[in-house]
Structure 1
Amino acid sequence: MADPRQRGKAPRRAGGDGVPDVYCADEQDSHPVDVARWRDLAVAALLEQGVRGGCELSLFFVDETTISELNQEHMGKPGPTDVLSFPMDGLDVVAEGQGPGAVSRGPARPHPDPDDAPTMLGDVVVCPAVAHGQFAGHAGTYDDEIALLVVHGILHVLGFDHAVPSEAADMRSRERAILEAHHWHGPAPAGFRQEHDE
């Protein structure tokens, strides 16, 4: 069996120096979503990770019924979750528990080289109703929770994971750096947490 970490002889490149295209849609009506704001954060997160023009990502905000159906169909888990990521570059995805990014690239995968990014990066699906229900014990505010879920989902699409402590520390560090640079424009608030209560 071939090593799943090998991507072939010639890496796929996200062509050009431009800005990645992010399609963003609010397909729910239970909680307010500033589509332009979260699209801008998604673009900033991609740029921060070295992804440039010539590629696309979709960011959807959906209701609990829709995310429950996706969670059951793709993750084999009943009920709603906060965010799901669907990479389009052939990475295997496995369930990784409840919490931000209930999707993983699987163990023993190297972190991606941004130059290897495919044309279609993937989809990130966020459920504002779940985010609203958990923000107090997690990120601290509804806006901070949505921001964390958007960035977390994008990092999963790019191949990052939190299955083992070293990967989790790297992923959380990247999340915090992106949020401090592009969401808060300064240090994280004192009450911000990236881990769920157990």
Structure 2
Amino acid sequence: MSIDIANESGVEVSLEDLVSVATFALGAMDVHPAAELSMVLVDSPTMADLHQQWMDLPGPTDVMSFPMDELEPGGRPDSAEPGPEMLGDIVLCPPFAAEQAQKAGHSLEHELALLTVHGVLHLLGFDHAEPDEEKEMFALQARLLEGWYERDRQHRRDAAVAARDERVLGSIGFLDDSGPDAGRSR
């Protein structure tokens, strides 16, 4: 995946986490690995302008998605060989998301991860205008977000085990390359 991300919001956030959750969601949705996505984080006045211009609604919102191509999981069904596609743009508003996170009782980081998954699903054609669509989209959104968190927990567990192994092996000289057994298999 190629994900370009820019933070123009004035709010410090982990861009690495947003790229990670977007990459995870796109992979789980079987989007071609060469697909391209653009993400921009903006301030409230900029989001309010976009919301008015594109949705004819006043005030800022949390996330907006601007799809470029009509995609289905696995690529375009009318294409002989699914290939790289420009998915579109996701615009996030961290100041607005911070207010939502506070009301919901969770962190801004969690809210932005959730909104990133939400934006990805919109780019892939999911919507929540009708009750059945909302149920499907929000259930998928929850599964994808939980899958990303589980992968992150597993990566942390693996890193902790690797660090422990390195400490233990280093403390008994197993990793020392300078001794008489250097170069010999143990």
Q: Does 1:42 align with 2:22?
A: yes
Q: Does 1:88 align with 2:68?
A: yes
2:118/2:141 contact within 8 Å kept:
yes
Q: CA deviation at 1:32?
A: 1.8
Flag the structure with larger Rg. 2
1:180/1:186 contact within 8 Å kept:
no
Look up the match of 1:143. 109
Q: Does 1:156 align with 2:122?
A: yes
| 1:77 partner SS | coil
| 1:183 partner SS | helix
Look up the match of 2:145. 179
- Cα 1:152/1:89, change in 2 over 3 Å: same
RMSD: 2.1
Aligned identity (percent) is: 39
Structure 1 residue ranges (4+ consecutive) displaced by more than 6 angstroms after TM superposition: none
Q: CA deviation at 1:36?
A: 1.3
Q: CA deviation at 1:25?
A: 1.0
Question: Number of residues paired by the alignment?
Answer: 147
d(CA) in 1 for partners of 2:151, 2:105: 16
Q: Partner amino acid for 1:82?
A: D
Q: Which one of 93, 96, 99 corresponds to residue 133 of structure 1?
A: 99
2:17/2:113 contact within 8 Å kept:
no
Look up the match of 2:170. none
Look up the match of 2:86. 120
Superposition TM-score, scaled by structure 1 size: 0.68
Q: Partner amino acid for 2:147?
A: A
Q: CA deviation at 1:138?
A: 3.1
d(CA) in 2 for partners of 1:183, 1:139: 18
Provide structure 2 residue ranges, at least 5 long, that are not aligned to the other structure: 77-81, 154-186
Q: Partner amino acid for 1:81?
A: T
d(CA) in 2 for partners of 1:47, 1:134: 27
Superposition TM-score, scaled by structure 2 size: 0.72
The 5 A counterparts of 1:66-77 are 66-77=46-57
2:13/2:109 contact within 8 Å kept:
no
Q: Does 1:32 align with 2:12?
A: yes
1:22/1:59 contact within 8 Å kept:
yes
Deviation per CA, 1:127-170, whole angstroms, max 9, x where unpaired?
Answer: 00000011133362211111111100110011001111221111
Q: Which one of 57, 61, 65 corresponds to residue 41 of structure 2?
A: 61
| 2:75 partner SS | helix
